Amino acid sequence: SYELTQPPSVSVSLGQTASITCSGDKLGDKYAAWYQQKPGQSPVMIIYQDAKRPSGIPERFSGSNSGNTATLTISGTQAVDEADYYCQAWDSITYVFGSGTRVTVL
């Protein structure tokens, strides 16, 4: 079965840039989406089709996908960005989610 691997945690200082990676075999040949989940809340899609932002998602969130790695970048990280982040792709049989990354804002 297809797997997506993320680092368990990422720490970032307030106002700095955070990068979260998502690795999978030939992931660059697929389309990646990213979701933000805060404690006790449902996931919210923040990036789709590798790099597109839904309406209402701040511009500080951006995405890229090439080779075996998709990357979510948070520029000028704010305290409200502290959350769990999940990548997701479709492997022609199932939707697959990454293991999740907890972002801590210092």
Partner 1 sequence: QVQLRESGPGLVKPSETLSLTCTVSGVSVSHYYWSWIRQPPGKGLEWLGLVYYSGATKHNPSLMSRATISIDTSSNQFSLEIASVTAADTAVYYCARGLGTDGYNSHFDFWGQGALVTVSS
**3-state secondary structure (DSSP) of residue 45:** strand
Contacts to partner 1 from residues 36-95, by CB under 8 A: 42-45, 48-49, 54, 86, 88-90, 92-95
- The least CB distance from residue 32 to partner 1, in Å, is 9
Contact between 101 and 92 under an 8 Å Cβ cutoff? The reply is no
Residue with Cβ nearer partner 1 (23 or 44): 44
Environment class of residue 79 by beta-carbon count within 10 Å: exposed (0-12), middle (13-18) or buried (19+)? exposed
Residue with Cβ nearer partner 1 (30 or 71): 30
In whole angstroms, give the CA distance from residue 18 to residue 5.
17
- The least CB distance from residue 99 to partner 1, in Å, is 5
**Quick one: tokens of 63?**
């995405």
Q: What is the DSSP letter of 28?
A: G
- The least CB distance from residue 83 to partner 1, in Å, is 13
Contact between 55 and 48 under an 8 Å Cβ cutoff? The reply is no
- The least CB distance from residue 93 to partner 1, in Å, is 8
Task: Using CB under 8 A, list all residues that contact partner 1.
Answer: 1, 30-31, 33, 35, 42-45, 48-49, 54, 86, 88-90, 92-100
